[in-house]
Amino acid sequence: MGIYLNPGNEGFEESIHSKIYVDKTGLIACTNELLNTEEKFVCVSRPRRFGKSMTLKMLAAYYGRGYDSRSLFAGLKIESDSAFEENLNQYDVIFLNMQHFLIESKKQELTEYLEQQVVKELYETYGELLSEQETHLVTILRQIYAKTKKKFIFLIDEWDCVIRERQESEKLQKQYLDFLRNLLKDQPFVALAYMTGILPVKKYGLHSALNMFWEYSMTNQDVFEEYTGFTEYEVKELCDQFDMDFAETSNWYDGYMFRRFQHVYNPRSVVAAMRCHDFSNYWTSTETYEALKIYMDMDFDGLRADIVQMLGGNHVKVNTRSFQNDMRNFQTKDDILTLLIHLGYLGYDSKAKEAFIPNKEIIEEFENAMSVGGWTEVMRVLNASKRLLENTLRLDEKSVAEGLDQAHMEVASILTYNDENSLSCAISLAYYSARTDYKMIRELPAGRGFADVVFLPLPSSGKPALVVELKYDKSARAAIQQIHDRQYTQALEGYSGEILLVGVNYDKDDKNKPHQCIIERIEK
């Protein structure tokens, strides 16, 4: 075993012996199907905290030659796969962590240092097959393949660190990408190349420098959806095991969605919550909010309004195709939103092509980023939202209407009322603090229609449910009547207790008191 060539199975052994281990070995069945095919070039990009490095350790343990990993996979999902025995410990694995090479190369060129280190290990294993001292990695791999017909599996971690951390040096980036292309493309010794990072493959001009790669990103994970994070079923099992409330876990860490798996959870945060037996923001332990603020404050037309819309619970349209897959070349607000999707700050609905803020943990990150300046009006609305909720729970209709008037005035320069949907966004923003004790649902299917905004209390809150119906240039009484007529409270399946019906109307012609509010209390 070496550092880079067949690095062993200790990393995966540590994973399965950890206090919390969720079996994701089914991913190996996916990679087995790609071995020695035209689809063997795989780039899987995910945010930090989504288990990318752990996946590579698992693949190294399974495929790597020179050690026996059979006992580590005993009882795990992949053991029952038909190709399990065929590929177990049958390949030479070259494991490259590009972050380590970037740090350790210092004044030496990254690719030159990488070649030196890997070539040294190849000579230790295959020196007798190599007729002369060769320094070029590709040449050596070709010679080994020509004499043994053994193929290699390349596992590349943090593949994009050069793109992210050397943003100003396009020369270095191109040199690095050319190196990877020469190492992998059209080479007979490649059985599989599996790269992970935060960003998809970098684009230059009309073409990608690594156009042989199939990309699986946060906009489309395809066959790897189930392995991107924790699924709803896996989280329910963890909640049962650690006696944690599933509804609150969902509120904090759910929200990433794909075509087949509509509920994908941030795995690291779920593990931290289970281990600490505490719901909290664990995102900040690995990244500070300043990283988010940089992009939020970029001066692209419509970006601030889109962020406010998402804070209010709306989804916003985004074109992800123009993004250049780097952290420097931005042309439109869509490029910023797409980057935030890849960084995990936004979820993405690929069918509707819409972005949104996925959960409470990420909402707190946006709040932290806004609190340090530049978002004064929005922060005033958020800070006043606790008082608005208290007035609602007291059935103080006059104070609620006045609070909504004030909230509207604060965000009027960013968000303009022009229909019930924009009104709904503003109302959701005004009730921002309710998310501490409630799960907010926009457009909840209910009775004979859709309730505009529903606040379902978390089990620990002890507060009543809220059903909010909105009208534009009509009346608050009409809003209340619609809740009754269309039986919106039927949507609160499984809930019993007090419900507050909140009818709100916005009258654009009343400059002094544009909002009216009626609140009713019922029992379910």
Q: Is residue 221 part of a domain?
A: no
Choosing from 369, 395, 418, the residue where a domain stops is: 369
For residue 510, what are its two tokens?
């009343």
Phi, psi of 383 (to 5 degrees): -65, -30
Q: Which residue intervals of 395-458 are DSSP H helices?
A: 397-411, 420-430
331/380 same-domain check: no
Helix axis angle, 303-311 to 360-370, nearest 10°: 130
225 inside domain: no
- Strand, helix or coil for residue 77: helix
Predicted pLDDT at 394: 96
What is the C-alpha to C-alpha distance for residues 333 and 324, in angstroms, rounded to an integer?
Answer: 13
- Answer yes or no: do 245 and 207 share one domain: no
Is 359 in the same domain as 386? no
Minimum mean pLDDT among 84-98, 140-154, 255-269, 451-465: which range? 451-465
Specify the pLDDT at position 241. 97
pLDDT at 491 exceeding the cut of 90: no
The structure tokens 């399990």 sit at 84
pLDDT in tens, 334-372: 999 999 999 999 999 999 999 999 999 999 999 989 988
Considering the domain architecture, whether residues 294 and 262 belong to the same structural domain is answered as yes
Looking at the fold, whether 59 and 168 belong to one and the same domain comes out as yes
Rg (CA), the chain: 27
What is residue 179's predicted lDDT score, i.e. its pLDDT? 94
CA distance 47 to 342: 6
- What is the average pLDDT across 363-387? 90
Q: Which of 216, 244, 271 is the last residue of a domain?
A: 216
Q: Alpha-carbon distance 216 to 239, whole Å?
A: 29
Specify the CATH number for the domain of residue 150: 3.40.50
Q: Is the pLDDT of residue 205 over 70?
A: no
Q: Which residues contact 127 (CB under 8 A, 6 or more apart)?
A: none
Place of tokens 């797409």: 338
Whole-angstrom Cα distance, residue 454 to residue 312?
13
With bands split at pLDDT 50, 70 and 90, how would you rate the model's confidence at 148?
very high
Render pLDDT for 99-142 as a digit per residue (tens, 0 to 9).
999 999 887 889 999 999 999 999 999 988 887 788 899 999 99
For strands 214-216 and 207-208, give the pairing. Answer: unpaired
Q: Would 19 be classed as within a structural domain?
A: yes
Strand-pairing partners, residue 103, are: none
- 40 plus 142 within the same structural domain: yes
β-bridge partners, 154: 94, 193
Contact predicate 193/184, CB 8 Å: yes
Distance CA(167)–CA(292), nearest Å, equals: 17
How many folded domains does the chain comprise? 3
pLDDT tens track for 33-85: 999 999 999 999 999 889 999 999 999 999 999 999 999 999 999 999 999 99
Confidence of residue 462 (pLDDT cuts 50, 70, 90): confident
Averaged pLDDT for residues 260-279: 96
Q: Running DSSP on this structure, what letter comes out for residue 64?
A: B
pLDDT at position 169: 84
**pLDDT recorded at residue 206:** 44
> What is the percentage of the chain residues whose pLDDT exceeds 70?
97
Residue found by looking up tokens 């010679």 in the block: 143
pLDDT at residue 288, as a whole number = 61
Assess whether pLDDT exceeds 50 at residue 457: yes
Rounded Cα–Cα distance for residues 336 and 232 (Å): 29
- Put simply, whether the predicted model's pTM sits higher than 0.75 gets the answer yes
Residues 275 and 185 in one domain: no
In a domain, 223, yes or no: no
Dihedral, CA of residue 20, residue 22, residue 25 and residue 30, to nearest 10: -140
Task: Supply the pLDDT for residue 47.
Answer: 93
- Classify residue 224: in a domain, yes or no: no
- Picking from 95, 354, 365, 106, the residue whose alpha carbon sits closest to that of residue 252 is 365
Does residue 170 share a domain with residue 125?
yes
Domain final position from 335, 369, 403: 369
Q: What was the pLDDT predicted at 509?
A: 82
Does 186 fall in a domain? yes
The tens digit of pLDDT for each residue in 411-453 reads 877 877 777 777 888 888 899 999 889 988 888 887 777 888 8
Q: Is residue 183 part of a domain?
A: yes
- The whole-angstrom separation of Cα 139 and Cα 125 is 16
- Are residue 68 and residue 185 in the same domain, yes or no? yes
Tell me: do 320 and 273 sit in the same domain: yes
Do both 50 and 148 map to the same domain?
A: yes
Tokens of 300: 């692209």
Structural domain containing residue 297: 230-369
Q: Are residues 26 and 173 in the same domain?
A: yes
2 domain-assigned: no
